Amino acid sequence: MEKTLVTYFSQTGNTKKVAEAIYENLQGDKQIKNFKEADMEDMKDCDLIFVGFPVHSHSVPVAMERFIKQIPPNKKLAFFSTHGSLTGSRISREAIEHATVLASKAKLLGSFSCRGKVSLEALELLKKSPEHRAWTDMAASASTHPDKNDLKEAGSFAHWITTLASQE
Ligand SMILES: Cc1cc2nc3c(=O)[nH]c(=O)nc-3n(C[C@H](O)[C@H](O)[C@H](O)COP(=O)(O)O)c2cc1C
């Protein structure tokens, strides 16, 4: 049975909800930690790591970039993210692509992403910068996410990844 760590960065709780849905759907030896509390020992000690973050400026938040770079080589890994832009848009994929490059020595088994509401304060502020216009225009419709269905899909993602991990 895999020993699994779920670790995440979350400022307003969206990514944390997804992390908890993943965690709840895991079997066996498992732990869930905010990435600020997860250390090298936690990472070395597990067989599989789920790493989650919100998309910031089309990318991985800087503090999370540093964390991802420390993932030990050959570690089985899965990413999850939340974002304000529409699911499937180029913007929603860019951050996962960037994270994949940062963790190129790990064994990436898959990734999951869903929308997450953007706080009104953040939205008003971000709308003012031209580089954010592309996604802030679509962000209002993320206000109900992550919803029940997103969390159900995150649970299915957890099952799928653990099946893949057990076959490695
Ligand atoms: C500073 C900042 C930058 C953001 N940049 C993007 C972005 O480039 N693209 C996007 O789709 N969403 C962006 N978002 C929206 C967040 O990714 C989204 O609200 C996410 O669900 C927040 O997750 P959290 O509650 O776990 O912090 C941004 C949010 C903030 C606060």
How many domains would you assign to the chain?
1
Between CA 163 and CA 156 the distance in angstroms is 11
- 54 touches 105 (CB < 8 A): no
The rounded percent of the chain whose pLDDT value lies above 70 is 99
**1, pLDDT greater than 80:** no
> How far does the centroid of ligand 1 lie from the alpha carbon of residue 64, in Å?
13
Domain that holds residue 163: 4-167
**107, pLDDT greater than 90:** yes
Q: How crowded is residue 158: how many other Cβ atoms within 10 Å of its Cβ? A: 25
Cis peptide before 146 (omega within 30 of 0): yes
- 48 touches 162 (CB < 8 A): yes
Ligand 1 atom at minimum distance from 52 CA: 26
> How far does the centroid of ligand 1 lie from the alpha carbon of residue 34, in Å?
17
Q: What is the pLDDT of residue 92?
A: 79
For residue 6, how far is the Cα from the chain centroid? 10
Q: What is the pLDDT of residue 166?
A: 92
Q: What is the pLDDT of residue 106?
A: 96
Residue 80: is it exposed, middle or buried by C-beta count within 10 angstroms (0-12/13-18/19+)? buried
Ligand 1 atom at minimum distance from 145 CA: 21
Query: Domain of 132: which CATH number?
Result: 3.40.50.360
For residue 90, how far is the Cα from the chain centroid? 16
Which residues partner with 81 through β-bridges? 53, 113
Ligand 1 atom at minimum distance from 122 CA: 31
Q: What is the pLDDT of residue 81?
A: 97
**Position 69 confidence tier, pLDDT thresholds 50, 70, 90:** very high
Residues with CB under 6 Å of ligand 1 are 10-16, 54-58, 82-85, 91-92, 116-118, 122, 126, 135
Token look-up 């699994």 returns 4
**Mean pLDDT across the chain, nearest whole number?**
94
The rounded percent of the chain whose pLDDT value lies above 90 is 79
Backbone angles phi, psi at 26, to 5 degrees: -95, 150
